[in-house]
Amino acid sequence: MHRRHLLKVAAIAVAVACAAPALAQDKPIKIGVTAGPHAQIMEVVKKVTEKDGLKLSIVEFSDYVQPNAALAAGDLDANSYQHLPYLEQQIRDRGYKFSSVATTITFPMGIYSKKIKSINELKDGARFGVPNDPTNGGRGLLLLQSKGMIKLKPEAGLKATPLDITSNPKKLKIVELDAAQLPRSLDDLDAAAVNGNYAESAGLNPLRDAIAMEDPKGPYANVIAVRTADRDKPWVATLVKAYHSPEVKQFIQTQFKNSVVPSW
């Protein structure tokens, strides 16, 4: 389902990018981002949109919940911070009438530790942190499984929880915490699966500091979300065109190397 949706979004993004007209905009479009790479990238997008007459106002958040709540309340016009599985889960759980209009970047999730240098050094009974939201928690557990530390029920898929663990030879203690808190909790944990944007914001370099990384070619491409009623408005096409511009791609590749991967 995710692959079909991503292909559909990609097709829409190409169409709107090609058709995006120059746009005169008196009132800035408010777009929510999380601090770190999403905010840095959006500053470059903002410079590109200004060439087409679209003014952006960037609003930074420190968690995953508020940007969607603000979009639903009308305090934002769009947001750019979440991957597709998380957006879909939020729509199911909260009834948001949102649409994904373009893919943006992928942050490969990493495992970090202040106590060990290799995932294989985890001791019996070690405390392992994962995000406490369903999609990112499942992502962390799947990463742990990919490194041979646990086994999960196959049918659990992307929404795996600690209850879906069928084999845990080292009897790891899974500690569920808010995703944004995990980097600051590394002193109290033996290791943790941390989303790339929060790792970067905490000064962790995924290429240098992670003791294990997930494959970047997964289902976790981040997206631009808007209220469904707004998805066909001209400013959306202009925003997508700007995000998918050569200037933005070059910035991402130069600034973040392989720790942030453009999805277009």
Domain residues of the chain, as ranges? 2-107+218-262, 110-213
Cα distance between residue 93 and residue 1, in whole Å: 18
Distance between CA atoms of residues 232 and 226, nearest Å: 10
pLDDT at residue 70, rounded to an integer: 98
Q: What percent of the chain has pLDDT over 90?
A: 81
pLDDT for 64: 92
pLDDT in tens, 160-184: 999 999 999 999 999 999 999 999 9
Among 112, 92, 81, CA closest to 192: 112
Give yes or no for residue 259 having a pLDDT over 90: no
Dist CA 83 CA 29 (whole Å): 21
Mean pLDDT of 113-138: 96
**Phi-psi domain of 254 (left: phi exceeds 0; alpha: psi -120 through 50; beta: other):** alpha
Q: 2-107+218-262: which CATH topology? A: D-Maltodextrin-Binding Protein; domain 2 (3.40.190)
Which tens digit of pLDDT belongs to each residue from 46-67? 999 999 999 999 999 999 999 9
Query: What does the alpha-carbon distance between residue 190 and residue 122 come to, in Å, rounded to a whole number?
Result: 7
For the chain, give me the number of helices (H) and strands (E)? 9, 14
| Predicted TM-score of the model (pTM) | 0.78
- pLDDT bin (cut points 50, 70, 90) of residue 19 is very low
Query: Mean pLDDT across the stretch 66-81?
Result: 98
Domain 2-107+218-262 shares a fold with domain 110-213: yes
> Is the pLDDT assigned to residue 20 strictly greater than 50?
no
Beta-strand ranges (E) seen in the chain are 29-34, 56-61, 78-83, 98-103, 105-106, 110-112, 127-131, 151-152, 165-167, 173-177, 191-194, 212-213, 222-227, 261-262
* DSSP code, position 183: G
Quote the DSSP letter at residue 170: T
What is the CATH architecture assignment of 110-213?
3-Layer(aba) Sandwich (3.40)
